[in-house]
Amino acid sequence: MPVDAESFKQALASWVSGVTIITSRHADHVHGMTVSAFSSVSLSPPLVMVCLDKVSNTLKLVEAAKVFSVNVLAQGQEELSQRFASKEHEDVRFEGLNCEQGTNGCPHIPGAVSTMDCRVLDTLDAGDHVIYIGEVRAAKFTDRPPLVYLRAVYRTLT
């Protein structure tokens, strides 16, 4: 018997994570979503992974484009995290953002701690999500403090 959904969610919520916005571009279409299911995978070759909900619009774009960028959010970017998670603001997520374009054409979120431009190397079907393994082709970083997420609350490192 699998674990009940509530115990599973509560147990997962105690895992401290950062918050990313995964962006993608296919032709003139850009989109992005908030993702905490991000991890490093391999140093050589440089690989990362993200888990995207099968019903997400971002997944459709990543499927088509085979590229995505990881934007690690900084302390103070809670509003952007909420905006890129909200279905209400789905069509205006990039409004007012002066995004630079990554080496793979995907938008970079201004003020992010770091960005990684990836091309999809592999995918794994995983329940209601798909795991994307990305080969990191370019990375930029700053020393800004990152946004932290724990037990459904945004936190800051002290």
Residues near ligand FMN (CB under 6 A): 19, 33-37, 51-53, 56-58, 81, 85, 87, 90, 149
CB of 29 to ligand FMN, least distance (A): 12
- Closest CB to ligand FMN among residues 53, 135: 53
Cα angle, residue 80 at apex, residues 77 and 85 outer, rounded to 5°: 130
CB of 73 to ligand FMN, least distance (A): 9
CB of 36 to ligand FMN, least distance (A): 4
In the block, residue with structure tokens 């993702």: 35
- Closest CB to ligand FMN among residues 45, 88: 88
- Closest CB to ligand FMN among residues 80, 136: 80
- Closest CB to ligand FMN among residues 44, 79: 79
CB of 144 to ligand FMN, least distance (A): 18
Shortest-Cβ-distance residue relative to ligand FMN:
37
d(CA 125, CA 108): 27
d(CA 83, CA 62): 19
Residue 150: helix, strand or coil by DSSP? strand
- As a three-state string, the secondary structure of 54-117 is CCCHHHHHHHHHCEEEEEECECCCHHHHHHCCCCCCHHHCCCCCCCEECCCCCEECCCCCEEEE
